[in-house]
Structure 1
Amino acid sequence: MANNQLGVLNALDAAKTQWYHFTAIVIAGMGFFTDAYDLFGISLITKLLGRIYYTNENHPKPGTLPPNVAAAVNGTAFVGTLAGQLFFGWLGDKLGRKRVYGLTLMLMVVCSIASGLSFGKSPAGVMTTLCFFRFWLGFGIGGDYPLSATIMSEYANKKTRGAFIAAVFAMQGFGILTGGIVALIVSASFDHAYKAPPYSVNRKDSTAPEADYIWRIILMFGAVPALLTYYWRMKMPETARYTALVARNAKQAASDMSKVLQVELEAEEEKVETASSSNSFGLFTKEFARRHGLHLLGTSVCWFLLDIAYYSNNLFQKDIFTAIGWLPKAETMNAIHEVYRVAASQSLIALCGTIPGYWFTVALIDYIGRFTIQLMGFFFMTVFMFALAIPYHHWLSNNAGFLIMYSLTFFFANFGPNATTFVVPAEIFPARLRSTCHGISAAAGKLGAIVGALGFLYAAQSTNPEETDQGYPPGIGVKNTLLVLGSINCLGIFFTLLVPESKGKSLEELTGENEEADGNGKQQASSTQTLPV
């Protein structure tokens, strides 16, 4: 490490894995556990909402949400998340990571509870208040992305930094699974076959009176994990990299990290001033564009492309399962049992593909590198999407084979770009812009999620107008939609080439913050600077 590197940062880079690392993973990770529960949990209850609130015989397709309502219920949280990622990402660099960390969590708690208490005198009124609260829930969730990633990267040592950041993100898998388990438990508790099938989804004989409690309980449970970790978030000290390199408080940085690492660290005020003054370009400058412009383009576009495919698949698993006949038709189930079947299907996918993929990344990211994992993930997602799409009609009579192939797309999304697009932006940008740039990259991803969620809603409709949900134009069908998603994943392979490998390097090596100024005020790379600019 260069002589001008701060001792407190050297100590963090070289620190052995300690208890505080695991504490930070759990504290930051529980935010992502809650994020996934809240964002993906809505797909468990959308069918139920249609059967509760849209059973009127005059409704074009009784028992289902109208197209505009379905789009709003699925999409408003993503819009809020995108806004929150940009706002809190910027705020995290301006005020500090810790100062806004608790605010995002409390917003998630309040809005989870409020979503379950959505009210109105008409179905439209209930859906409107639900969408309002889910927008602000998404706003809080959005803040968790740049803040959690940045805090974990700045706390970690350079040897296992990738695994620690990926472990925070991997808590998403447990959040998705827990959402399914909670829905299973709640729906099983209320499931009563009031009348024998066949049911009519537009009649009350298929929807028990207790059904209205189910979706509310499922949504409100999202407040529980967030509440459990609020106190510990508030106890975490500010990261030394923010305190030293951005706030320029060498004494506070040394004091905080002395307690965390349980070693004595010296406050190096002169080095702090040198590091801060010699590397001070802003986001909208030619210097940033020269050094990191392509990096930001790469992280943003890769996340955008990944989320189109990933969120399409996650939010509309129930529709794909219905299309291949793995989920029975609604007419064969009462409304509560339908929730149970949807939850069981999504929980199985989470266990088979989602969770294992996350933890393969955690185990291997610091050995084979971020670049390799992302490239490999996009490649295999492309292969399996095409393998599902091209012989699509074969899979209609082979449900087990479809489930295996479909699970593999999730496995390689999570042992691939879904994890690495979260990790890399927290490593390759300067400390004073790290949270902002991560927020921009994540917001590009959520834009992709919105495109995926709403686009799939329309595109996956049958090409036959008579088989299309009333209010939707004819789509391109599930087969062609899968072909489009496979092509999008293929594009991700090429944009991955813009993203540098960050394995085994300190954050300051990657960003150039250990550079020295020459006599003319220009930057000179230290002897350890290896990243091309």
Structure 2
Amino acid sequence: MKPNLDPVSTEDMDDHERAAFNELIRPSDSYLPDGTYWADLPVGERVKFCVQQDRIETRKEMAWLWDMFKTDPLAPIAYYFKNSVLPGAGLGLEGYVLFSISNVTPLFKASYKECWSTGKVCNPNWIAAVNYLEVVGILIGQIIVGLLGDWIGRRWGLIQDAVIMFVGLIMLTAAWGMTLNGWVICYAWSLFFYSIGVGGEYPMTATIGMENGIGSGKVNMSKDRLHRGRSVVSAFLMQGWGQFANQAILIILLLIFHHGDGTPPISTTTTNWTYRISFFIPAIGTLWLVYYRAYHVKAAAASKQLDAQKKKASVTGYDTQSLKLTFKHFTPRLVATAGCWFANDVFFYGNKLFQSKFIAVISPHSTSLMTNWLWNLVNIAASLAGYYCASWFVDNKLYGRKMMQNIGFMMCFILFIIPAFLLKYYESAAHIHSFQAMYFLSSFFNQFGPNCTTFLVAAEVFPTPIRGTAHGLSAAAGKLGALVIAVVGSYTTTQQQFYIVPWFGLAGVLLTELFLPDTTGLDLREQERRWLHIRQGREHEYHGPAVHRKHLSVWERWMGKGKYYDADLDYQMKVKEFRAEWEAAMAVRGEEKDALFDLDDVDESIFQGSLHTYFERTSPMIRAMEKSEVEPTTLPDDARDDEDTHGRE
């Protein structure tokens, strides 16, 4: 159903003003000139529209990048550092440390055989507890910090995560004991403490990356629709760079202290210097992260969307009502995000379980620790390629989150099920290259698939007041998957593991297809708008894109959620909602006369924008609207400048 194209008089506007007005309600990156939503188009026209919009956006970004480069050749690097490296710094540091645990274990086994290999002088339960306590610590951090992030604020969660990780790294670096068994116990509990901070990084990084795209007053809304996923995944992929840096540094340190190719025996002195320095290096970076988050991340910016939603709902603490409504209306989504993350972590950590077997097959006569590490470096490089492909394609309307997750799960299933029934065949030297290809491809498609998308959608498909909690619960379910496969790996052979792991890929496909909505191309403001109706008990009165069948799961369609979608009614409701905001804004403007007002003085609706900028740049349009009593609206994205230009923080 197409909306009325001209419900208000625009006779006194010129072409530019009229186009700006239409862009407010029907942005050209999502709607045709006749008002048809992109997801309502027939398949052929939809493909044509999406390809055209991708070309337009690519040309814009390339022109912008070229202009930046001409002004300062290093500016693109600085931009990437500010918008991807810094937001993902915590995940990069935790990726470095957590994957260091599995990397230094062979080093411990080579130097402390009587402890880590034979268990003669160390309790085997404490050796096993190193891995278990790591997972339990992460799980606790994900749940607790997710709750606290929704309760106290996002910035507090960021700071406490960094502090816990810094203290934990000092504990890991200085771990000691009167006996080897005492050292193992100290090492295990230090890792547990550090992992609590790691767990908190997941919900905080995802929610802030998600919310910085809406309502901040600094981000063009088209970037939220077109590049929201890329922003979050670009921060998440720093985890891959953390793994890469850790493996590279361990190789360098072993070369320095061992003076060889890593072939045992390796002295205890070499092991101590290697692993302790490898932990001390990220401790320096984490200390800087504490400083940066404490003094350069503003509370108002980090929790702006959360505070706005609490203000509208008159909530001062934790929004328990939103939690109840989330379980009432979005339980299937929580099943999808938690269940898919569980299935993914079985694959992700299963890949690590098979790593030693894989290396033993391709290098059967090598006893060098360096061989293991070098092949792991190649595997991390394949994973990094998958991370970047995910960030490039996750916002593509013709591919997007849901298809990427389904294809990733299916490819992992195929790449694991083949060697599961033909392991002896691929273990032979004649077919080793095929085994190599399947192993590296499984790493690639795990990142170019569920490992990135589960992190993204667990924050994206839930409302702001409960986003941290929902993400934390989903991530914790993933760590349960990691714990399950760690236990399974301790009591099964490689062949048995290959029989077990692939089926979680099919489970992931089933959960994704049935219960996960596809939010690719959906404006997050529409989700918040729908949530407002749900909270007010008026779900049936919301008719916008958030209940379009394209953005609903199969289960939600079966439950009849899509029946509320009506483009015509939605357009009329938006005009009424914008009128209310316009009148509130004009009232404040009248009180302050010609001065620019602060939006914090009025109710911050989900459609708020930098209206003061709009007033300055489109005053002829405002006069036309006032003369013709045009229905109210908010600021168009194209009319915004950075707030700093107008003297506002």
What does residue 252 of structure 1 align with? none
Q: Distance in 1 between matches of 2:373 and 2:480?
A: 26
Pairing 1:29–2:88 present: yes
- Is the Cα–Cα contact under 8 Å of residues 182 and 218 in structure 1 kept in the other structure? yes
What does residue 264 of structure 1 align with? none
What does residue 99 of structure 1 align with? 156
- Is the Cα–Cα contact under 8 Å of residues 129 and 188 in structure 2 kept in the other structure? yes
- Is the Cα–Cα contact under 8 Å of residues 47 and 65 in structure 1 kept in the other structure? no
Pairing 1:506–2:565 present: no
Q: Distance in 2 between matches of 1:439 and 1:296?
A: 11
Q: 1:312 aligned to 350, 353, 363, which one? A: 350
What does residue 418 of structure 1 align with? 451
Distance change (3 Å), C-alpha of 1:65 and 1:314 = farther
Q: Distance in 1 between matches of 2:422 and 2:301?
A: 54
Pairing 1:216–2:265 present: no
What does residue 225 of structure 1 align with? 285
Distance change (3 Å), C-alpha of 1:71 and 1:244 = same
Q: 2:391 aligned to 340, 362, 376, which one? A: 362
- Is the Cα–Cα contact under 8 Å of residues 158 and 506 in structure 1 kept in the other structure? yes
Q: Distance in 1 between matches of 2:539 and 2:359?
A: 59
What does residue 489 of structure 2 align with? 456
- Is the Cα–Cα contact under 8 Å of residues 342 and 477 in structure 2 kept in the other structure? yes
One-letter identity of the residue aligned with 2:177: G
What's the offset of the Cα at 1:429?
A: 0.8
What does residue 489 of structure 1 align with? 505
SS at match of 1:503: coil
- Is the Cα–Cα contact under 8 Å of residues 141 and 196 in structure 2 kept in the other structure? yes
SS at match of 1:168: helix
What does residue 43 of structure 1 align with? 102
Distance change (3 Å), C-alpha of 1:191 and 1:172 = same
Distance change (3 Å), C-alpha of 1:522 and 1:371 = closer
Q: Distance in 2 between matches of 1:61 and 1:325?
A: 26
One-letter identity of the residue aligned with 2:327: A
Q: Distance in 1 between matches of 2:328 and 2:376?
A: 44
Pairing 1:407–2:468 present: no
Q: Distance in 1 between matches of 2:110 and 2:121?
A: 6
Q: 2:374 aligned to 344, 353, 356, which one? A: 344
One-letter identity of the residue aligned with 1:326: S
One-letter identity of the residue aligned with 1:289: F
One-letter identity of the residue aligned with 2:340: C
Q: Distance in 2 between matches of 1:520 and 1:511?
A: 14
Q: Structure 1, unaligned stretches of length 5 or more?
A: 2-9, 200-204, 250-271, 460-476
What's the offset of the Cα at 1:106?
A: 1.7
What does residue 236 of structure 1 align with? 297
Distance change (3 Å), C-alpha of 1:114 and 1:120 = same
What does residue 544 of structure 2 align with? 527
What's the offset of the Cα at 1:319?
A: 4.5
Pairing 1:169–2:228 present: no
What does residue 255 of structure 2 align with? 188
What's the offset of the Cα at 1:518?
A: 11
- What are the superposed Cα offsets for residues 35-61 of structure 1, whole Å, 9 maximum, x if unpaired? 1111111111112222333437xx983
Distance change (3 Å), C-alpha of 1:239 and 1:147 = farther
Q: Distance in 1 between matches of 2:351 and 2:544?
A: 46
Distance change (3 Å), C-alpha of 1:491 and 1:239 = farther
What does residue 632 of structure 2 align with? none
Q: Distance in 2 between matches of 1:131 and 1:301?
A: 28
Q: Distance in 1 between matches of 2:438 and 2:537?
A: 59
One-letter identity of the residue aligned with 2:140: A
CA RMSD of aligned residues (A): 3.3
One-letter identity of the residue aligned with 1:354: S
- Is the Cα–Cα contact under 8 Å of residues 530 and 546 in structure 2 kept in the other structure? no
Q: Distance in 2 between matches of 1:161 and 1:209?
A: 48
Q: Distance in 2 between matches of 1:220 and 1:314?
A: 25
What's the offset of the Cα at 1:502?
A: 0.7
Distance change (3 Å), C-alpha of 1:21 and 1:186 = closer
- Is the Cα–Cα contact under 8 Å of residues 93 and 432 in structure 1 kept in the other structure? yes
One-letter identity of the residue aligned with 2:380: A
One-letter identity of the residue aligned with 1:483: Y
What pairs with 1:249-288 in structure 2 (closer than 5 Å)?
Answer: 273=312, 282=321, 285=324, 287-288=325-326
Q: Structure 2, unaligned stretches of length 5 or more?
A: 4-23, 30-56, 65-77, 214-223, 562-649
Deviating more after overlay: 153-162 vs 124-133 = 153-162
What does residue 432 of structure 1 align with? 465
What's the offset of the Cα at 1:223?
A: 1.8
What's the offset of the Cα at 1:110?
A: 1.7
SS at match of 1:416: helix
SS at match of 1:150: helix
TM-score, length of structure 1 as denominator length: 0.79
Q: Distance in 1 between matches of 2:150 and 2:488?
A: 34
- Is the Cα–Cα contact under 8 Å of residues 210 and 232 in structure 2 kept in the other structure? yes
Deviating more after overlay: 154-163 vs 45-54 = 45-54
Deviating more after overlay: 383-392 vs 450-459 = 450-459
What's the offset of the Cα at 1:113?
A: 2.3
Q: Distance in 2 between matches of 1:500 and 1:213?
A: 49
What's the offset of the Cα at 1:389?
A: 2.0
What does residue 160 of structure 1 align with? 227
What does residue 341 of structure 2 align with? 303
- What are the superposed Cα offsets for residues 435-482 of structure 1, whole Å, 9 maximum, x if unpaired? 0000000000111111122321322xxxxxxxxxxxxxxxxx212211
- What are the superposed Cα offsets for residues 265-317 of structure 1, whole Å, 9 maximum, x if unpaired? xxxxxxx637989xx773553x3234211000110000011101211322552
One-letter identity of the residue aligned with 1:452: I
- Is the Cα–Cα contact under 8 Å of residues 121 and 181 in structure 2 kept in the other structure? no
Deviating more after overlay: 85-94 vs 312-321 = 312-321
Pairing 1:397–2:428 present: yes
Q: 2:411 aligned to 367, 376, 380, which one? A: 380
SS at match of 2:428: coil
- What are the superposed Cα offsets for residues 81-112 of structure 1, whole Å, 9 maximum, x if unpaired? 00000000000000110122111012112211
- Is the Cα–Cα contact under 8 Å of residues 378 and 413 in structure 1 kept in the other structure? yes
What's the offset of the Cα at 1:505?
A: 1.3
- Is the Cα–Cα contact under 8 Å of residues 337 and 458 in structure 2 kept in the other structure? yes
Q: Distance in 1 between matches of 2:504 and 2:533?
A: 42
One-letter identity of the residue aligned with 2:390: T
One-letter identity of the residue aligned with 2:280: M
One-letter identity of the residue aligned with 1:43: S
- What are the superposed Cα offsets for residues 388-436 of structure 1, whole Å, 9 maximum, x if unpaired? 2222112222333322210111111000000000000111111110000
Q: Distance in 1 between matches of 2:353 and 2:245?
A: 16
What's the offset of the Cα at 1:143?
A: 0.4
Q: Distance in 1 between matches of 2:535 and 2:346?
A: 46
Q: Distance in 2 between matches of 1:152 and 1:518?
A: 24
What's the offset of the Cα at 1:114?
A: 1.3
Q: Distance in 2 between matches of 1:224 and 1:400?
A: 41
Question: How many residues are treated as equivalent by the alignment?
Answer: 464
What does residue 68 of structure 1 align with? 125
One-letter identity of the residue aligned with 2:414: V
Pairing 1:127–2:164 present: no
